[in-house]
Structure 1
Amino acid sequence: MRAQFPCSARTILSVVIVLAISALCDSPAFSADLQTDSSGEAPFVAENDRAMTRMMEDMAVKPTGDVDRDFVAMMVPHHQGAIDMAQAELRYGHNEQLRRIAQEIVVEQQQEIAAMRLALGQSLPPSAPAPDQQKPVSVPAAHSDPTSHRGMQMNMPTHTQEEK
């Protein structure tokens, strides 16, 4: 069960965590460790670093005089950063409990982004599969037979003409 914080306290806590992770990633010792990483963590760390950098850049919003719009303009990249980091965990992580949490983060943050945009009367972007669910370009598209269920065995009774 997660502790429930008021939105402002959650936001402040999230920003503090983001800044702490960002400071850690920028430290020379951390960068040196990445160069000698034999655990395979380097792609995960690089992806997280890109997500953090993009999030921090996109959160730098020039005030418009409309507090609500400014809030959403800053929170959407913040939530998208959480989505991007969770997707990195889904791509590279191995702990099933953390992967489930990452899946929840993706869903919850997408819902919050949608709710904030709708609250301002903004349209929602078209639905698209998550980046970790898209097939690489080199993989041919699967046959789109609606009765074909790759990976699923369907044991449905077949009736002959005599049985009917």
Structure 2
Amino acid sequence: MGQRLSQIEWSDRDKLGFTDLDIEHRGLVEIINRVIRAINEDDQVQYRLHANNFAQALILHFANEETFLHEIRYSHLDKHRAHHQSLLEGALAFNRLSHSMEDLDTLGGYLEEIKTALLEDIRGGDHYFLKFLETEGADKTVKARLLG
């Protein structure tokens, strides 16, 4: 592989303050970092394994997050769901490619796109629904339970 891929560094700014979602987000970052390390090391077995694990973890996480967004009555749920679908399609396509392609530069390019989309979701889109909840979403009972 020509250029080594950089891993994602998790920080406190990535946290939303909802333990379950924060744990899942951190887990997604850890899995994609495993894919990155495996590609950097040209370890086909590992990058194929972790590409599959990442896609499966995304499916579970998006289902959990969308249930949460429904519960807080997030007004932009359909738009957020469409973003999730796009990211998931990219992850599933990458998973398929990782099993059929051995050109690490091309795989690395696709992985960079997925990494960027994941970071946009965690650091961008997901923080919008936090702001929504703080200002207008859900009723007082739900807010008290979710925000502590």
TM-score by length of 1: 0.35
Q: Which has the higher helix share?
A: 2
Q: Which has the higher contact order (CA 8 A, sep 6+)?
A: 2
TM-score by length of 2: 0.38
